[in-house]
Structure 1
Protein backbone atom coordinates (compact mmCIF):
# COMPACT_ATOMS: atom_id res chain seq x y z
CA UNK A 1 0.00 0.00 0.00
CA UNK A 2 1.34 3.43 -0.89
CA UNK A 3 2.61 5.68 1.87
CA UNK A 4 3.12 9.41 1.85
CA UNK A 5 5.47 11.95 3.29
CA UNK A 6 3.36 15.02 4.04
CA UNK A 7 4.84 18.36 5.00
CA UNK A 8 3.07 21.55 6.03
CA UNK A 9 5.69 24.27 5.57
CA UNK A 10 5.46 27.74 7.07
CA UNK A 11 7.63 30.82 7.48
CA UNK A 12 9.91 30.11 4.57
CA UNK A 13 13.04 32.21 4.66
CA UNK A 14 14.91 32.51 1.36
CA UNK A 15 18.40 31.08 1.62
CA UNK A 16 20.94 29.43 -0.72
CA UNK A 17 20.62 26.24 1.38
CA UNK A 18 17.02 25.86 0.17
CA UNK A 19 18.18 25.89 -3.44
CA UNK A 20 20.81 23.27 -2.66
CA UNK A 21 18.19 21.14 -0.86
CA UNK A 22 15.90 21.31 -3.90
CA UNK A 23 18.77 20.37 -6.19
CA UNK A 24 19.65 17.33 -4.08
CA UNK A 25 16.38 15.89 -2.74
CA UNK A 26 15.32 13.90 -5.79
CA UNK A 27 18.51 11.84 -5.66
CA UNK A 28 17.59 10.87 -2.08
CA UNK A 29 14.08 9.82 -3.16
CA UNK A 30 14.99 7.76 -6.22
CA UNK A 31 16.40 4.69 -4.39
CA UNK A 32 13.16 4.44 -2.38
CA UNK A 33 10.69 4.96 -5.22
CA UNK A 34 9.70 8.39 -3.91
CA UNK A 35 8.06 10.97 -6.14
CA UNK A 36 6.58 14.39 -5.58
CA UNK A 37 2.80 14.48 -5.92
CA UNK A 38 2.34 18.03 -4.58
CA UNK A 39 5.15 20.53 -4.22
CA UNK A 40 4.21 23.83 -3.42
CA UNK A 41 2.38 26.87 -4.16
CA UNK A 42 -0.37 27.93 -1.81
CA UNK A 43 -3.58 25.98 -2.21
CA UNK A 44 -7.01 27.38 -2.91
CA UNK A 45 -8.38 27.56 0.62
CA UNK A 46 -12.06 26.68 0.75
CA UNK A 47 -12.54 26.30 4.50
CA UNK A 48 -10.51 27.39 7.49
CA UNK A 49 -7.06 28.89 7.42
CA UNK A 50 -3.94 27.38 5.88
CA UNK A 51 -0.78 29.34 6.53
CA UNK A 52 2.06 28.06 4.42
CA UNK A 53 2.32 25.45 1.71
CA UNK A 54 2.07 21.69 1.30
CA UNK A 55 4.41 19.02 0.01
CA UNK A 56 3.27 15.46 -0.64
CA UNK A 57 5.70 12.71 -1.63
CA UNK A 58 4.46 9.23 -2.54
CA UNK A 59 6.37 6.03 -1.75
CA UNK A 60 5.58 2.42 -2.66
CA UNK A 61 5.01 1.55 1.02
CA UNK A 62 5.65 2.73 4.58
CA UNK A 63 8.95 0.87 4.87
CA UNK A 64 10.34 2.70 1.83
CA UNK A 65 9.12 6.02 3.26
CA UNK A 66 10.79 5.38 6.61
CA UNK A 67 13.97 4.12 4.99
CA UNK A 68 14.15 7.28 2.85
CA UNK A 69 13.71 9.64 5.81
CA UNK A 70 16.33 7.86 7.89
CA UNK A 71 18.75 7.31 5.00
CA UNK A 72 22.20 8.86 5.29
CA UNK A 73 21.61 10.70 2.00
CA UNK A 74 18.47 12.45 3.25
CA UNK A 75 19.83 13.08 6.73
CA UNK A 76 22.80 14.79 5.09
CA UNK A 77 20.56 17.42 3.46
CA UNK A 78 17.76 17.68 6.02
CA UNK A 79 19.23 20.69 7.85
CA UNK A 80 19.40 22.61 4.56
CA UNK A 81 15.60 22.78 4.70
CA UNK A 82 14.88 22.53 8.42
CA UNK A 83 17.18 25.43 9.33
CA UNK A 84 15.25 27.83 7.06
CA UNK A 85 11.65 26.60 6.88
CA UNK A 86 9.39 25.89 9.84
CA UNK A 87 7.02 23.03 9.38
CA UNK A 88 5.60 19.69 10.28
CA UNK A 89 6.48 16.44 8.52
CA UNK A 90 4.72 13.14 8.89
CA UNK A 91 4.61 9.76 7.20
CA UNK A 92 1.19 8.25 6.66
CA UNK A 93 -0.08 5.12 5.00
CA UNK A 94 -2.59 5.56 2.21
CA UNK A 95 -5.83 3.68 1.73
CA UNK A 96 -6.42 1.11 -0.99
CA UNK A 97 -8.42 1.76 -4.13
CA UNK A 98 -11.32 -0.20 -2.65
CA UNK A 99 -11.50 1.95 0.51
CA UNK A 100 -15.07 2.78 1.48
CA UNK A 101 -15.61 5.33 4.27
CA UNK A 102 -18.94 3.67 5.09
CA UNK A 103 -16.99 0.75 6.58
CA UNK A 104 -15.24 3.14 8.97
CA UNK A 105 -18.56 4.76 9.80
CA UNK A 106 -19.94 1.33 10.69
CA UNK A 107 -17.01 0.64 13.00
CA UNK A 108 -17.42 4.04 14.66
CA UNK A 109 -21.13 3.44 15.07
CA UNK A 110 -20.41 0.03 16.63
CA UNK A 111 -17.79 1.57 18.95
CA UNK A 112 -14.96 -0.66 17.77
CA UNK A 113 -11.39 0.46 18.49
CA UNK A 114 -10.47 0.62 14.77
CA UNK A 115 -13.10 3.31 14.22
Structure 2
Protein backbone atom coordinates (compact mmCIF):
# COMPACT_ATOMS: atom_id res chain seq x y z
CA UNK A 1 0.00 0.00 0.00
CA UNK A 2 1.34 3.42 -0.95
CA UNK A 3 2.12 5.92 1.76
CA UNK A 4 0.36 9.25 2.07
CA UNK A 5 2.03 12.63 2.22
CA UNK A 6 1.33 16.23 3.03
CA UNK A 7 3.33 18.60 0.87
CA UNK A 8 3.29 22.19 2.03
CA UNK A 9 4.79 25.45 0.83
CA UNK A 10 4.65 27.92 3.69
CA UNK A 11 5.47 31.57 4.42
CA UNK A 12 5.54 32.45 8.12
CA UNK A 13 4.77 36.09 8.87
CA UNK A 14 5.01 35.87 12.68
CA UNK A 15 7.52 33.22 13.79
CA UNK A 16 6.78 33.71 17.48
CA UNK A 17 3.01 33.22 17.09
CA UNK A 18 3.62 30.30 14.70
CA UNK A 19 5.19 28.36 17.58
CA UNK A 20 1.69 27.88 19.08
CA UNK A 21 0.60 26.18 15.84
CA UNK A 22 3.66 23.91 15.92
CA UNK A 23 2.93 22.88 19.51
CA UNK A 24 -0.73 22.18 18.71
CA UNK A 25 -0.17 20.28 15.46
CA UNK A 26 2.07 17.83 17.32
CA UNK A 27 -1.08 16.35 18.91
CA UNK A 28 -2.49 15.35 15.53
CA UNK A 29 0.86 14.31 14.10
CA UNK A 30 1.58 12.03 17.06
CA UNK A 31 -1.91 10.51 16.93
CA UNK A 32 -1.65 9.70 13.19
CA UNK A 33 1.98 8.58 13.12
CA UNK A 34 3.27 11.47 11.03
CA UNK A 35 6.95 11.61 10.15
CA UNK A 36 8.63 14.77 8.86
CA UNK A 37 10.79 14.16 5.79
CA UNK A 38 11.35 17.85 5.03
CA UNK A 39 10.75 20.64 7.51
CA UNK A 40 12.15 23.90 6.20
CA UNK A 41 15.86 23.66 5.64
CA UNK A 42 18.01 24.90 2.84
CA UNK A 43 16.36 25.10 -0.57
CA UNK A 44 17.28 26.39 -4.01
CA UNK A 45 14.50 27.65 -6.29
CA UNK A 46 15.07 26.03 -9.66
CA UNK A 47 11.64 26.58 -11.20
CA UNK A 48 8.26 28.05 -10.33
CA UNK A 49 7.24 30.16 -7.38
CA UNK A 50 8.16 28.59 -4.02
CA UNK A 51 7.48 29.88 -0.53
CA UNK A 52 10.05 30.34 2.22
CA UNK A 53 9.53 26.88 3.75
CA UNK A 54 8.85 23.49 2.19
CA UNK A 55 7.39 20.76 4.39
CA UNK A 56 6.83 17.08 3.51
CA UNK A 57 5.15 14.85 6.08
CA UNK A 58 4.82 11.09 5.60
CA UNK A 59 1.93 8.92 6.81
CA UNK A 60 1.46 5.16 6.65
CA UNK A 61 -1.11 5.56 3.85
CA UNK A 62 -3.21 8.13 1.99
CA UNK A 63 -6.33 7.65 4.13
CA UNK A 64 -4.38 8.24 7.33
CA UNK A 65 -2.97 11.46 5.84
CA UNK A 66 -6.52 12.62 5.05
CA UNK A 67 -7.79 11.56 8.46
CA UNK A 68 -5.08 13.61 10.15
CA UNK A 69 -5.94 16.66 8.06
CA UNK A 70 -9.62 16.37 8.99
CA UNK A 71 -9.05 15.49 12.66
CA UNK A 72 -10.32 17.74 15.46
CA UNK A 73 -6.73 18.01 16.68
CA UNK A 74 -5.45 19.41 13.40
CA UNK A 75 -8.47 21.63 12.83
CA UNK A 76 -7.67 23.26 16.18
CA UNK A 77 -4.06 23.76 15.06
CA UNK A 78 -5.11 25.37 11.77
CA UNK A 79 -6.92 28.11 13.68
CA UNK A 80 -3.61 29.06 15.32
CA UNK A 81 -1.81 29.66 12.02
CA UNK A 82 -4.56 31.48 10.12
CA UNK A 83 -3.27 35.00 10.73
CA UNK A 84 0.43 34.25 11.10
CA UNK A 85 1.26 32.27 7.94
CA UNK A 86 0.24 31.53 4.38
CA UNK A 87 0.36 27.96 3.13
CA UNK A 88 -0.37 25.88 0.05
CA UNK A 89 -0.82 22.26 1.16
CA UNK A 90 -1.78 19.13 -0.73
CA UNK A 91 -2.45 15.64 0.60
CA UNK A 92 -1.15 13.18 -1.96
CA UNK A 93 -0.88 9.42 -2.35
CA UNK A 94 2.63 8.04 -2.74
CA UNK A 95 3.81 6.04 -5.73
CA UNK A 96 4.63 2.32 -5.62
CA UNK A 97 5.07 1.70 -9.36
CA UNK A 98 8.13 1.04 -11.47
CA UNK A 99 11.11 3.37 -11.30
CA UNK A 100 13.18 4.48 -14.32
CA UNK A 101 15.77 1.78 -13.60
CA UNK A 102 12.97 -0.84 -13.59
CA UNK A 103 11.60 0.02 -17.04
- When normalised by structure 1's length, the TM-score is 0.75
Which fold has the larger relative contact order, with Cα–Cα distance below 8 Å and residues 6 or more apart in sequence?
A: 2
**Gap runs ≥5 in structure 2:** none
Rate the CA distance shift 1:78–1:57 in 2: closer, same or farther, 3 A.
Answer: same
Structure-to-structure mapping, 1:1-115, within 5 angstroms? 1-10=2-11, 12-45=12-45, 47-49=46-48, 50-96=50-96, 98-101=97-100
C-alpha distance in 1, partners of 2:79/2:17?
Answer: 9
Pick the structure with greater CA Rg.
1
C-alpha distance in 1, partners of 2:23/2:80?
Answer: 11
CA RMSD of aligned residues (A): 2.2
- When normalised by structure 2's length, the TM-score is 0.83
Aligned length in residues: 101
Deviation for aligned residue 1:51: 3.6
Moved over 6 A (4+): none
